[in-house]
Amino acid sequence: MIDALFEYQFLQNALICSVLASVVCGLIGVIIVEKKLVMLSGGIAHTSYGGVGLGYLAGFEPIIGAFLFSVLAAFGIGAINRRGGTRSDVVIGLFWSLGMALGTLFIALTPGYPPEITSYLFGSILSVTTTDLWLTTVFTAVVLLVIVMLFNHWKAYLFDEEFAAIIGMRTAVLDYLLLVLVALTVVVLIRVAGIILVLALLTAPAAIAGMLFPRLKQRMAAAVAIGCVLCVAGLWISYSLDIASGACIVILSVSCYFACRAARAAYLRRKRKKAGRRAEV
């Protein structure tokens, strides 16, 4: 693959895209895992399918439609949740279903032959175009800039939201901003893992990092590094075996998570046994 990397542009695009995706996975993934917003992120991701379908129907770039629908879903879910009166899982499920239904409807109404939407549903990092790469770069830069500039705000917001509100932070603004960042992250990951598989790639590196490091900055850095290794390794395996890249990356990510979880559980058991023996002595 290394020789082919210097020869084929599509492999270079795929490698760059995987690194960019790892950055947003590490930064946003840690936050949504800590705030227990995994299913909300899934709702935003699946709602974006409506934008993909609208892009095909109206004749513009589907990834832009996915971004618009993701942002609208983020604001919609956030506004309904903050007003209360409705369980968040109900709202997420309705947005989830509505996005998929609208996407299916728009694609069915598209004139001519049905478009190829498999890459948007399950990912196809090897088919990333230069336009996709530029959009991914811009979205990744925005996410990175917002996280770095407001890092202390995010730290207070994550670990003690009430304290953050008391000292004058606008937690409502941070709520909506986080949802928009999740929407941007979903758009970045669509070409890597697809709408259906995006949750695994968004959460697995962050969850693994959470087992290893206690501090937020350490977790984010570790999640970025772990995501990069998983994406590049999955890309290499998919290219070598000629199998679906998105599925390969996700399977590898989930397998690594459960392996780390099992190793951590075994380590804690041994640690408790040693502590018990010392207590008996």
User: CATH no. for residue 19?
Assistant: 1.10.3470.10
Please give the Cα distance from 129 to 152 (Å, whole number).
Answer: 36
Q: Of 26, 239, 19, 225, nearest to 124 (Cα)?
A: 239
How distant, in Å, are the alpha carbons of 31, 56, 168, 182 from that of 34? Answer: 5, 36, 22, 14
- Please report which residue ranges of the chain form alpha helices under DSSP H: 2-7, 9-34, 38-58, 62-83, 88-109, 118-122, 130-149, 151-159, 161-166, 171-212, 216-241, 245-280
Work out the pLDDT band at 268, boundaries 50, 70, 90: confident
Instruction: Decide: 171 and 161 in contact? Cβ < 8 Å.
Output: yes
Please give the Cα distance from 139 to 148 (Å, whole number).
Answer: 14
pTM above 0.85, yes or no: no
For the segment 28-56, the average pLDDT, to the nearest whole number, is 86
Phi and psi at residue 59, in whole multiples of 5°?
A: 85, 25
The tally of domains found in the chain comes to: 1
Residue 215 has pLDDT above 60, yes or no: yes
3-state secondary structure 233-253: HHHHHHHHHCCCHHHHHHHHH
Work out the pLDDT band at 258, boundaries 50, 70, 90: very high
Number of Cβ within a 10 Å radius of residue 158: 16
Residue 3 has pLDDT above 60, yes or no: no
Number of Cβ within a 10 Å radius of residue 152: 10
- Convert the pLDDT of each residue in 109-146 to its tens digit: 888 776 677 777 777 777 777 777 888 888 888 888 98
Number of Cβ within a 10 Å radius of residue 231: 29
Which residues contact residue 7 at a Cβ distance below 8 angstroms, ignoring those fewer than 6 apart? none
How distant, in Å, are the alpha carbons of 38, 177, 190 from that of 23? Answer: 18, 18, 14
Range of the domain at 180: 2-280
123 SS3 class: coil
Work out the pLDDT band at 277, boundaries 50, 70, 90: low
**pLDDT of the residue at 281:** 54
Please give the Cα distance from 256 to 271 (Å, whole number).
Answer: 22
Mean pLDDT, all residues of the chain: 81
